[in-house]
Amino acid sequence: MSTNDLPADCQFTKDHEWARTEGADLVVGITRFAVEQLGDITLVSLDVKVGAHIDEGKAFGTIESVKTLSDLYAPVSGTITKVNGALNDKPELVNDDCYNAAWMIAITPDSPDAANALLDRAAYAAHCDAQH
């Protein structure tokens, strides 16, 4: 995978989530690599409420394709500030536009520099290549 296939303003996790800093929040979704592994997305369940606290690595929901189900993991610990309700009725947004319209949640991290621990584009691209 080329780093150019990845959005320049995002950081990544080994579980194939992306995180984009917007003000004090990290907006979170899943990467194109994850979407391609899953195939046709048919259901997104975001099982967290605005105001709730979530720990890094804990599941904030599930995503299902025709064939499989995957958990969605919080990339950092923090407080949920937004949940993308549009995915309830339009899970296919994840296939169409995983880096923008299909954002999933926004988190205010407990620690302001929590995002520094995430992977940059080059490290994430290398991680994906190693999985092939």
Nearest to 81 by CA among 103, 57, 99: 103
User: 88 vs 116, which CB is nearer to another protein?
Assistant: 88
Q: Are 16 and 34 in contact (CB under 8 A)?
A: yes
97 binds another protein (CB under 8 A): no
70 binds another protein (CB under 8 A): no
86 binds another protein (CB under 8 A): no
Query: How many positions of this chain bind another protein (CB under 8 A)?
Result: 12
Please give the biggest Cα pair distance in the chain.
38
Query: 31 to each of 64, 69, 88, how far by Cα in Å?
Result: 15, 16, 19
Nearest to 28 by CA among 45, 13, 14, 42: 13
**Separation between Cα atoms, residue 10 and residue 105, nearest integer Å:** 14
User: 43 vs 123, which CB is nearer to another protein?
Assistant: 43
Q: Which 25-44 residues touch another protein, going by CB under 8 A?
A: 39-40, 42-43
Strand, helix or coil for residue 113: coil
Q: How far is the CB of 63 from another protein (least distance, A)?
A: 11
Q: How far is the CB of 54 from another protein (least distance, A)?
A: 17
Q: Which stretch binds another protein (CB under 8 A): 4-12, 57-65, 73-81, 110-118?
A: 57-65
**Contact positions toward another protein, by CB under 8 A?**
39-40, 42-43, 45, 62, 64-67, 69, 88
